Amino acid sequence: MLNRNEALNLLREYKAILEGHFLLTSGRHSGVYVEKFRLLEHPDLTARFAEPIAEHFREANVDLVVGPLTGGVLVAHEVGKLLGKPIAFPERSRDGMEWRRGFQVTEGQRVLIIEDVITTGKTIGEIKEAVTRTGAEIVGIGCMICRGKIDLNPTPFAVVSMNLASYPEDRCPLCRRNLPLEKRGSRAEKNDNHAATNNEHPPSNEVSAESNSQS
């Protein structure tokens, strides 16, 4: 089964870790960008990242695996397959996330929330709200990649945790070096079909896998 070092090597090998000078969704700048679709475009790789997540939650008596569109649900699908459980996804409406398409998320169900990359935890917060509104119980949060300091309850399990820094524009060392600024994510490039959320990142040499779980 994939361990954190192998996972980190795959991120590099498949060029999911980009180095340069990036404008994040949050407006902050960073020297590293995680382009998770370099993994998710390969179903076999998504499956490999799903394995440690499924193993971590195997004894959690999960009834339903939930992940956000677009990338999260791809990982949730693989985790659901390994756990032998159904999946569901909420969709954004004006009033937050809502359950459409007849998905049954009901009181007392034990729900595992899965994401591809957790950056600020904002999306996870919205999903948690959509789950708890139904009376279902959240038994865990799992992801492929997690940025270090995310305050989420329950604490997410990540295959790879990274300690990535980002900077406000007026204190960005990359701006000072006049490196060209690149926008990534769905709002920036027509070719990018997913909001690659605001991965917050630092100089490349600080990229490291800290642990197999995360904080």
Selected range binding Zn ion among 66-74, 106-114, 151-159, 173-181, rule: CB under 5 A = 173-181
Residue 201 near residue 34, CB atoms below 8 Å: yes
Is 143 or 164 the residue whose CB approaches Zn ion more closely?
A: 164
Is 125 or 203 the residue whose CB approaches Zn ion more closely?
A: 203
**Residue 174 interacts with Zn ion (CB under 5 A): yes or no:** yes
Place of tokens 């790789």: 45
Applying CB under 5 A, among 29, 36, 77, 147 the residue interacting with Zn ion is 29
Selected range binding Zn ion among 25-33, 40-48, 69-77, 80-88, rule: CB under 5 A = 25-33
**Residue 28 interacts with Zn ion (CB under 5 A): yes or no:** no
Mark residues 100-139: x for contact with Zn ion by CB under 5 A, - for none: ----------------------------------------
Alpha-carbon dihedral 96, 101, 106, 112, rounded to 10 degrees: -70
* Least distance from Zn ion to the Cβ atom of residue 47, Å: 36
**Residue 175 interacts with Zn ion (CB under 5 A): yes or no:** yes
CA 75 to chain centre: 9
Got the DSSP string for 55-83?
Answer: HHTTTS--SEEE--TTHHHHHHHHHHHHH
Residue 142 near residue 114, CB atoms below 8 Å: yes
With a CB cutoff of 8 Å and minimum separation 6, the contacts of 133 are: none
Question: For 135, left (φ over 0), alpha (ψ -120 to 50), or beta?
Answer: left
Selected range binding Zn ion among 99-107, 142-150, 167-175, 196-204, rule: CB under 5 A = 167-175
Selected range binding Zn ion among 40-48, 98-106, 172-180, 200-208, rule: CB under 5 A = 172-180
* Least distance from Zn ion to the Cβ atom of residue 161, Å: 24
Please tell me the distance from the alpha carbon of residue 197 to that of residue 85, in angstroms, as a whole number.
Answer: 27
Using CB under 5 A, count the residues that bind Zn ion.
Answer: 4
Q: Which residues here bind Zn ion, judged by CB under 5 A?
A: 29, 172, 174-175
